[in-house]
Amino acid sequence: MADTKALIVALSGCSSSGKTTLARLLRDIFPSTFILHEDDFYRPETELPMKDGLLDWDCAEAIDIPAMAEALSYIRQHASFPPTLDSKEDQNSVGKCPVSSTTISALKSKVSSHLSSTHPLSAATIRLCLLDGFLLYPPSMAAIKPHLDVKVFLRASYERAKARREARDGYVTLEGFWADPPGYVDKIVWPNYVAEHSWMFEDGDVEGKYKADVLEQETIRVPDGGPLDGDMDTILAWLVDLILQELDKHA
């Protein structure tokens, strides 16, 4: 694939904001598309930091950032998934799909009709890589910033994020399986999310308004209106349009 280029689209946001669900849907909608999951770069449990007596999976120190940057560099050079990376994230369930089958079918048809045989995506001269991660844009992740072509941020209210996260069975890990202990969202997940992302919001309120100047400076895209708990059908349609626009720039 020496002549093939990669377009890396990052999808970030708080835990349970719909990133993985949307990434999997976009992979089904767009041809020549694959997903790189930040969760596949967790360090072994023995190397994870502790916070309030609990293992902290939701911080930059839990991620092997150099390995993640190396994987993105490989994708940039080869437009393919790193062969040495064993992805476990796709083994994790994200629950019932919140997007209607009607919307999915309509978007598949839209993309199919948009992509002519000479379009870079159809002609296999460009491949779409979706990077799904809970922590991608803060200063703590500066090493991966040069590798991101498009940066999208999704969010959810504390109530929705907590309900979704606590409804999950758990996660496949290097060591086997992890299930959040009681109180994990309140002690670890939400405080860490706020600490890493408050710089993006007015008065540091992650449930309030975005700082428009920060989004512009960092070239971070958010769904129209920056909804707190946005409709997933609407967000998916917005993402499809955004990606088509970006792909067309390479046509």
Enzyme catalytic residues: 39
Distances (CA, A) of 97 to 23, 147, 160, 246: 12, 30, 16, 26
The full length of the chain comes to 251
Task: Calculate helix-pair angle for 190-197, 158-167, nearest 10 degrees.
Answer: 130
Question: What residue type is 148 in one-letter code?
Answer: L
As a whole number of angstroms, the distance between CA 167 and CA 156 comes to 15
Task: Output the 3-class SS for 115-139.
Answer: CCCCCCCCCCCEEEEEEEECCCCCH
Q: Which two tokens stand for residue 224?
A: 């129209």
Q: For 210, phi and psi rounded to 5 degrees?
A: -70, 155
